[in-house]
Amino acid sequence: MKKRIIYASLIGVLTMAILTVAYVLYVQKEIAVERNQFTYIAEDKADNIAATIKAVEIRVDALKVLIQDHKGGTEFFDTIADDIYDDVIDGTGIPLKYITIAPDGVVSDVYPILTNESLIGYDYLDVTKTGNVTDPDVYEKGNTVLTNSYDVKAGGFGVSGTIPVIYKEAGRSSLWGLVGFNISPDSLKEALKLDTFDEMGINYRLAYLDSHNTRHLIQESATKPENEVVVRFYVENLIWELSISPKKGWYPYTRCIFMVFVLALISVFVSIFVNIIFRLRESYLMVVKISNTDRLTDCYNRRAYEEKLAEYSNFGMSEDLVYIAVDINGLKKANDTLGHQAGDELICGAATLLKNCFKEYGNVYRIGGDEFAVMIHCDEKKLEERKDTLTRSMIKWKGKIVPQLAMSVGYAPLRECPNKSITELAKLADERMYDAKRNFYISTGQDRRGR
């Protein structure tokens, strides 16, 4: 019973382990799908951010083209800057903090002038100024330069851009100066629309990486993202990083707890079910054993013997099979003179000797009152050893009621007569057993009928 309970418990534990592993794999797959969706969301937002700033740059770039067309003339600045300012608002929703022109890198005009007068005279090519490029020659390539942080009379994070104006004359190109623009912190925050992530139940963090790959925060949600999806993207020459994760987590803990409870219940039910199956199996095996076991000797009975003969008849025999016929000598005499307890002692003694001698090689069957059949599988050498062992065991045997035990034994190895059936082999063993019995009674001078 204890083994049955232990086995059932182990199967329950194994079931729990298998179900848990399967559930973990399922959760990992669900999380992977969720992370892929969030990666798509982050990439889409990153593209939107880059496109928004690029849209501003494209509109301001018109000022560069006009300066080139006017061969360095800037008399149109106020009118065109006002148009560009309005066009940026209409196209992107961003009110620029300012637009500047800087011949030779020094600001000569700014729009709107009212709040940005202090920018007049600012030198974009002064490498000592925070936010300016450390290598002004980069402008010679004609590429727009964006900066994340800057020191232009106003604090806070914003995006500044400087667009080089390359002037061509007499087949030669030279840097005329720069067109500048700035998106203020508030305008940038409004333009990025990151707060929509809050409405979607998403934690976020937007940062930029400087030349030393150090991360600087631009904007983040009240709850910081954990185990987030990270997307890095370029805004012209800048590297930005957007990190997002679901506020509810990648997989709800409450669902995990519920599923663990369900899996535990399933495992318990499996354990109970297996215990019932084992118990039914034990009952079945017990019934089979009882139906195939001789109650007195605990050997296999006549029914089991007949089934074994049928098995050999239907499916054949291996060449190392040995059929042994056994009969107890003097059983009737013991019953008549000493009582049936004495006879039972002889029967049980014979059964014990036979099982001890042959149990490693086959089975012992009680097929009659004092008759036994043994069917074993062994080679010739082992058979001779078993014969000697059985003979010595009979000599040493001594009962409480009967002083000695004698058995007549007939051996019929299949290898001696490979073409015989199991029935013919049994008959041969019986004949040899009766020959041994006859010799026993002759040698001892006992009356065979009295046994």
Ramachandran quadrant class, 107 (left: phi over 0; alpha: psi -120 to 50; beta: rest): beta
Tell me the DSSP string of 25-59: HHHHHHHHHHHHHHHHHHHHHHHHHHHHHHHHHHH
Q: Which residues are CB-neighbours of 67 under 8 A, at least 6 positions away?
A: 73, 74, 101, 165, 167, 176, 179
Predicted TM-score (pTM) of the model is: 0.61
Cα gap 95→56, rounded to integer Å: 10
Q: Which of 273, 400, 370 is nearest to 4 (CA)?
A: 273
Q: Are 300 and 365 in contact (CB under 8 A)?
A: yes
Dist. CA 60–CA 84, nearest whole Å: 6
Domain with CATH 3.30.70.270 in the chain: 302-444
Helices then strands, counting H and E runs in the chain, come out as 10, 13
Q: What is the pLDDT of residue 211?
A: 73
Question: Beta-carbon neighbour count of residue 432 at 10 Å?
Answer: 18
236 close to 57: Cβ distance less than 8 angstroms: yes
Q: What is the pLDDT of residue 157?
A: 59
The secondary structure of residue 184, as a DSSP letter, is -
Three-class secondary structure of residue 295 per DSSP: coil
Residue pair 100/180 in contact by the 8 Å Cβ criterion: yes
Positions of the chain with pLDDT lower than 70, given as ranges: 1, 148-157, 447-451
Sign of the C-alpha dihedral computed for residues 149, 153, 156 and 159 taken in this order: negative
Using only C-alpha atoms, the chain has a radius of gyration, in whole angstroms, of 51
Task: For domain 302-444, give the CATH number.
Answer: 3.30.70.270
What digits encode the pLDDT tens for the residues 77-123?
A: 999 999 999 999 999 889 999 999 999 999 999 999 988 898 999 99
With contact defined as beta carbons under 8 Å apart, do 221 and 204 qualify?
A: yes
How far is the first Cα of the chain from the last one, in angstroms, to the nearest whole number?
Answer: 46
pLDDT score, position 448: 55
Q: What is the pLDDT of residue 9?
A: 83
pLDDT at 176: 92
Chain region(s) in the chain for CATH 3.30.450.350: 1-292
Does CATH number 3.30.413.10 belong to domain 1-292?
A: no
Token duo for residue 159: 């995006």
pLDDT number for residue 46: 94
